[in-house]
Each structure stands twice: as C-alpha cells, then as structure tokens.
Structure 1
Amino acid sequence: MRQYQIKEVKEVSKIVCNQCGKEIPVVNGRAEEGVFSVDYTWGYFSEKDGERHSFDLCESCYDRLLASFQVPAEIEG
C-alpha cells in the first residue's frame, strides 16, 4: 500500500526592486542577478516594535544606498 503526503512548495516567481521597480529575472526559483534582500523584525527598544519589514534592492540601488552612508560599510573580499 502506498501512502502519500501532500507538500506545499513555495517558489519565487518574480522579484521587483522596491526602490526603482526593476524586475530581476528569476529562473527555476532563483534570481539571475544580484539582489539585496532584507527581512527584519524590529525589536523592543524601537518605535517599530514587532513590525516586520522586508524588501529587495537590485544591485544598482544597493550601490546607491551604500554610497549615501556617512560611515562606509565594511566590505571584505
């Protein structure tokens, strides 16, 4: 006798840069270009306590964000 288990699979079908609106190509659930993804839940000592923020940036928008920093990000490699 065969027993089956129903599985729900979630696969990325589309990624859009939240800053500029550019669509990043996705093939078989994987981005075909560099994408900076943030998924952050704010903590207790924040004005946003408990809020979850998530967004994606294309590489160009990420570069512009980094260029705006007063203190440069640490980059290795």
Structure 2
Amino acid sequence: MRQYRLKETKEINKIVCNQCGKEIEVSGGTPREGVFSVDYAWGYFSDKDGERHSFDLCESCYDKLLASFKLPADIEE
C-alpha cells in the first residue's frame, strides 16, 4: 500500500524592483541577475514595532542607495 501526502511548494516566478519598477527575469525560480532582497521585522524601541518590511531592489537601484550613504558600507570580496 502506498500513502501519499500533498506537497505544496512556492517558486518565484517574477521579481519587480520596488524602487524603479524594473522586472527581473526569473528562470526555474532563480533570478537571472543580482537582486538585493530585504525582509526585516522591526522590534522594540522603534515606531514600527511589530511591522515586517519586505522589498527587492535591482542592482542599479542598490548601487544608487549605496552611493547615498554618508559612511560607506563594508564590502568584502
């Protein structure tokens, strides 16, 4: 006798940059170019306590964000 369970999986089929609206190509659930993804849960002592913020940036918008920093990000190779 065989017993089965229903297996449900989620696969990304589209990513859109939240800053500029560019659609990033996805193939087989994998982005075909660099994407900066944020999923952050705000905690105590912030005005956003309990909120979760999620967004994606294309590489160009990420570069613009980094360029706007007063102190540069730490980048390792």
TM-score range relative to shorter protein: over 0.9
CA displacement, residues 47-69 of structure 1 (integer Å, 9 cap, x when unaligned): 00010000000000000000000
Alignment-derived partner of residue 35 in structure 2: 35
Q: CA–CA distance in 2 between the matches of 1:5 and 1:76?
A: 44
Q: Shift in Å at residue 41 of structure 1?
A: 0.3
Q: Is 1:18–2:18 an aligned residue pair?
A: yes
Consecutive unaligned residues of structure 1, counting only runs of 5 or more, are none
Percent identity, aligned pairs only? 77
The TM-score, its normalising length taken from structure 1, stands at 0.99
Where 1:60 maps in the other structure, the secondary structure is helix
Count of residues paired in the alignment? 77
Q: List, as ranges, runs of 4+ consecutive aligned residues in structure 1 with deviation greater than 6 Å.
A: none
One-letter identity of the residue aligned with 1:15: I
Consecutive unaligned residues of structure 2, counting only runs of 5 or more, are none
Alignment root-mean-square deviation, CA: 0.3
The TM-score, its normalising length taken from structure 2, stands at 0.99
Q: CA–CA distance in 2 between the matches of 1:71 and 1:45?
A: 24
